[in-house]
Amino acid sequence: MGAKKEIFIRGIGSYLPKRILTNKDLEAIVETSDEWIVSRTGIRERHIAADDEFTSDMATQAALRAIEDAKIQPREIDCIIVCSVTFDMAFPATACIVQKNLGISECPCMDLEAGCSAFVYSMEVAAGLLQLGCYKNILIIASDKLTSITDWEDRTTCVLFGDGASAVVLTTEAYGARAMLVDTLLRAYGKDCYSLMQPGGGCRHPASAETVEKRMHYLRMNGREVFKSAVRGMGAILKDIFLRNQIEPTDVQHFLPHQANMRIIEAVAETFQISLEKFLIVLHRTGNTSAGSVGIAFDDGYRNGRFAAGDTLSFITFGGGMTCATALVRWLL
C-alpha cells in the first residue's frame, strides 16, 4: 500500500421540495399546536414532496447541483451511493434509478442504510474506496421522502419530519476542491435498534391486510429513548474524535448537527460548553429530513458563505439503528 491519499469534497448540493407544511397546517390534521411543536423541537415548517416526486427524484436534483458545483460532467462520476430509509422500492437500488436519471452508464451503484447517520457513514465508505484507488469521483446522495411513511394520525411523530436531499462529490483530486475530509468515526448501538423503526414491509412482516390494519408500514418511535440515546451517543463520539485528532471543541468553527430537534442540539452544545452560534441550524424550516439533513445544513452554510479558508467543520449525526457518526472537515477555499 502506498501513502494514504487525501480525500476532498469537490461539489456540494441539496434540494428541498416546493410545498411547505407549517405547524399551523398541522393543527388542522392532528391535535397539536404551533407553540407545542416549536417549544419541544424548534421546528416551524417542513417541505413536503409532491405525490409523484420520489426519493430518487429529490436525489437526482441534489446530485445535479453537486455535480455542477464540482464543475464536472455527470459521466465523470464513477460510483454512486444513495443513503435513505425511504428508498423508492426494496429493489432495484435507488442508486441505480438515480444513475438512469443522470444518464450515466456502467458505474457501480449501491444503497446504504444507516438511518440519519448515513451521510457521514457514506463519506467513510467512499473515502475507503477512494483510498484503494478504485474511483476518481464518488457521488454520495442522501435523500428521504419520510412523509411517505409518516403516520398522519400519530401526533407524537408526524410533526417532526420533512422531505429533502443533499449530495457531495468526493475525490482524491485536490484541484478545485472546496474542503478536505480530515477524519470520520462511525458507531451503532444495535441493542436499541427497535426504538425507531418501520416494522412492516420487510421479510419479517411482509405487506398484508393485517400489517396495513396495524399501521406497521409507518414510522414508529420511542421519542424519549431516542432523545436520551442521541444526546449520550453524540456527546461520546464527539469527545472521541476530538481526542484522536488532538483538538478541542474551541478549535472547531462550525458544528453541523443532525437536524432533528433543537433541544438535542442544545444539550450537545451544553455538554461541550460551545456557543449555539457555532451550530448550523436549518431544522426550523426543514424539520427532520433524516439522512439528508446534515448535508442540507452543509449546503446551506456553503451557499450562504458561512465558511472561511482553514475553518474546521464538525459533522455530528444520530439516527435509526441506533447509529451515530461524526466527521471532521477542513474548509479550503
8 A C-beta contact, residue 238 and residue 251: no
Q: Scanning the structure block, which residue is given the C-alpha cell 390494519?
A: 213
For this structure, is 288 an active site residue?
Answer: yes
CB under 6 A: which stretch of 6-14, 234-242, 259-267, 272-280 binds ligand COA?
Answer: 259-267
Q: Which of residues 63-82 bind ligand COA (CB under 6 A)?
A: none
User: Residue 288 has what DSSP assignment?
Assistant: B
Catalytic one of 116, 137, 158, 254: 116
Say which residue the cell 488532538 belongs to: 246
Q: Which stretch binds ligand COA (CB under 6 A): 57-65, 81-89, 168-176, 221-229?
A: 221-229
Establish if 224 lies at the interface with ligand COA (CB under 6 A): yes
205 in catalytic set: no
Binding mask 3-42 for ligand COA (x = CB under 6 A): -----------------------------x---x---xx-
Task: Provide the 3-class DSSP secondary structure of residue 31.
Answer: coil
Is 193 catalytic? The answer is no
Q: What's the rounded Cα separation, in Å, for the pair 129 and 115?
A: 21
Determine the 3-state secondary structure of 273 from DSSP.
coil
- With beta carbons less than 8 A apart as the criterion, state whether 82 and 76 touch: no
The residue count for the chain: 333
CB of 167 to ligand COA, least distance (A): 20
How near is the Cβ of 27 to ligand COA at its closest, in Å? 9
Show the site string, 268-297: x = touches ligand COA by CB under 6 A, - = not: --------------------x---------
- d(CA 111, CA 333) in angstroms, rounded, equals 31
Q: For residue 186, how many C-alpha atoms fall within 13 Å in the half-sphere facing its CB?
A: 14
Contact string 117-156 vs ligand COA (x = CB under 6 A): --------------------------------------xx
How many other C-beta atoms can be found within 10 angstroms of the C-beta atom of residue 71?
A: 12
Residue 38: half-sphere exposure toward Cβ, Cα within 13 Å = 10
Active site residues: 116, 258, 288
Contact residues toward ligand COA (CB under 6 A) are: 32, 36, 40-41, 116, 155-156, 159, 221, 223-224, 226-227, 260-261, 264, 288, 318-319
